[in-house]
Structure 1
Amino acid sequence: MVGRTVRGLVPVLLVAGALAGCSTESDDVTDAGAKPGGGATAGSTAGKTAARGGTVGGAGSGCALRVTFDVAERWKAQAVAIESDSPVDAALGTQGPVSMVCEIDAKPAGHLGFLRVWQGDSKGGTPRQVLEGFVAADENASKTTYTRSTVGKLAVTEVSYTVHSKVMEESREARAFAVATPDGPVVVHLGGLDSQEHRAMLPAYELAKRSVRLG
């Protein structure tokens, strides 16, 4: 499999930090002032899905994952490997209970951002617990809102939140969803250079969320 190490992602990560039918049910709000759905669905992209360009997760898709989902046109998937002896890999490639295994680049589609897939080994936690650990590991995260949905028979939990950039002196929107698999949890996260880019990429995120399945 062609891929790259987390160490090779360092410049990209630093730049980003600096600058089947689905039914949904609201969950509780964990931060005062947060509203269901957050602000990430604001604008003309709210609720829309991108045109399908292929799938990721299976053999030959760029990343071998515990789940499969559709990816937007021109988005490019690449596997990510964590070097076990690298403190840099450990710091950048692990967030809470999960580790990065795949990066789906939006640049070929004209956006500055990624869908990143993270997987964990713990099989006992719920998707909500996994997301809570994922968000808690980012000390700059706030205004979290959780929702639950189903895709086919698969339970999906989603979190929307904001991340404050000390360098840019502003907050940007972020979103992630998690599912449980027999081999452990999977988290799919959408960030972006800023909230405007994040919102522009939401259709690709929605496509992934609404098409996710085991396998």
Structure 2
Amino acid sequence: MGQRSFVAVLAALTIALAAGCAEKNEQPSASASPTASPSPTASPVTPGPPWYDEVAAAPAGVTVGEAGSTCELPVTFSVPAGWKVRSIEGKAGQLDLGDADLLCEIDARPSGVTGFVRVWRIEGVAGGTEPHLKHYLNQYAPESADAEYRRIKAGKVDAFEASYFKDGGGSVRDRAIAMASLYGPVVLTLDTPDTEELLPAYQLVKQSARVRRY
């Protein structure tokens, strides 16, 4: 083989090897699988009004909602020690609110503070936690017209929460939250003349919430 032919063959091999390396280097980017979507982030912590997320939860005392307990509910959560749990049969009686069925009432008074956590099922409302909570407040809490809302995780439960001024004014805010369950949303209300006093208990309810498995 002449020198000129040898040089031509060598050049051809060099070009082929370079092309092969380039193709090999580009292969991963061409066949790479899509980046996995980031996992949902935790609910944001908002100190001060309107949510007061910096308030520490009260110590857990009683679990509400479990099978065989006083109130069997689609969700479970904890309340402070000394609170009295009372199951409500049928409509709410003196608290009859039309299409809102009172399922359970947890009374704080035996522990020395005044207030209740009440659990409601709303009849005849389609959709998830947001329409259920807004329907309840629109029907039964006229002072909530200027409520602030947010979508959060209550413990491990998808939830929609409202904070609104008691009686439509002042500085004290009422709280209500709708939690998703296997049998549709339930609405929990914090009913007390002093919401700030019961915020630690309310934080405990939210942080300990779980969907009950049947």
- Residues 131-152 of structure 1 show CA distances to partners (whole Å, capped at 9, x for unaligned) of 1111111223333011121246
**Structure 1 residue 214, shift from structure 2 partner:** 1.2
**Greater radius of gyration (CA):** 2
Partners of 1:192 and 1:152 in 2: CA distance? 23
Which residue in 2 is equivalent to 1:207? 204
Q: Is the 1:61–1:77 contact (alpha carbons within 8 Å) kept by the matching residues of 2?
A: no
Segment of structure 1 superposing worse, 71-80 or 123-132: 123-132
**Structure 1 residue 198, shift from structure 2 partner:** 1.1
TM-score, reference length from structure 1: 0.68
CA RMSD of aligned residues (A): 3.0
Partners of 1:101 and 1:47 in 2: CA distance? 27
Which residue in 1 is equivalent to 2:63? 55
Q: Is 1:161 aligned to 2:164, yes or no?
A: yes
Identity in percent: 34
Residues 48-127 of structure 1 aligned to structure 2 (within 5 Å):
48-83=56-91, 89=93, 92-94=95-97, 98-122=100-124, 124-127=126-129
SS at match of 2:203: helix
Larger strand percent = 1
In structure 2, runs of 5+ residues without a counterpart are 1-40
TM-score, reference length from structure 2: 0.68
Structure 1 residues 126 and 52: alpha-carbon distance in aligned structure 2, compared to 1, 3 A threshold? same
Partners of 1:71 and 1:153 in 2: CA distance? 16
User: Which one of 189, 195, 214 corresponds to residue 198 of structure 1?
Assistant: 195
Ranked by relative contact order (alpha carbons within 8 Å, sequence separation 6 or more), the top structure is 1
Partners of 1:198 and 1:152 in 2: CA distance? 21
Larger helix percent = 2
In structure 1, runs of 5+ residues without a counterpart are 1-21, 27-34
